Structure 1
């Protein structure tokens, strides 16, 4: 899995896709009803109407809306969680600089250990080489 920012970007992209899917579902499967007294349903040829809208029964449509809304809320909560664990929200600039300095010190110590291990390896290889060269056949 990627770093936190990548996870956050992926989650935001998924939320946007969910919004589009919700709008498409609602647009495709709503009942053709008027919302106000001045609204009118336009007359559309039957074959074009079937391509644009395929209404679901009201109970199925309402259940699907509830499920889509719950999915959106779940994704939004995931995004909030990812945002809350990002570094820097609860840390001041000085804290972040201190953390960076500590990490740099740890990196320097690890590099010194690595160099020591390389030196020891080279010494061991030199000793082994000397032993191998000193061995004679009987």
Structure 2
């Protein structure tokens, strides 16, 4: 998983895609209704594809409800990611302290790494001496 900004960008992209899917669903499955006296519903020829596949009101409303719930869940995820970004609830002093703490952890980890490398070199040297001793006999 990437850093929080990458996660946020991906969540915002997914939210935008969900908005587009919602618009497509509504455009594709709405009821054909006349809203004014000048409105017309065009007659389609048999070989012409349908622009709208009207769903029953119950099915259409259930689909809208599901899409709305998905949008709300994704929007809450975006809000959570935004709230977890550093700097929103942390003062500059808190961030500097966090950086100092991380630098200390890094120093400890580097010391441990150097000790492990030194031990590895010692073990390799002993192993080499043992192998040379075996070859002589």
Alpha-carbon distance, 1:62 to partner: 1.4
Alpha-carbon distance, 1:131 to partner: 4.2
Q: How many residues align?
A: 135
Root mean square deviation of aligned Cα: 2.3
Report if aligned partners of 1:11, 1:79 keep a CA contact under 8 Å in 2: yes
Alpha-carbon distance, 1:47 to partner: 3.1
* Cα pair distance change 1:132/1:31, threshold 3 Å: closer
Q: Which runs of 5+ in 1 are unaligned?
A: none
Alpha-carbon separation, structure 2, partners of 1:86 and 1:9: 12
User: 1:9 and 2:9 equivalent?
Assistant: yes
User: 1:119 and 2:118 equivalent?
Assistant: yes
**Stretch deviating more after TM superposition (16-25 or 125-134):** 125-134
User: 1:42 and 2:56 equivalent?
Assistant: no
SS in 1 for 2:45: helix
Aligned pairs (5 A) from 1:65-84: 65-84=64-83
* Cα pair distance change 1:63/1:3, threshold 3 Å: same
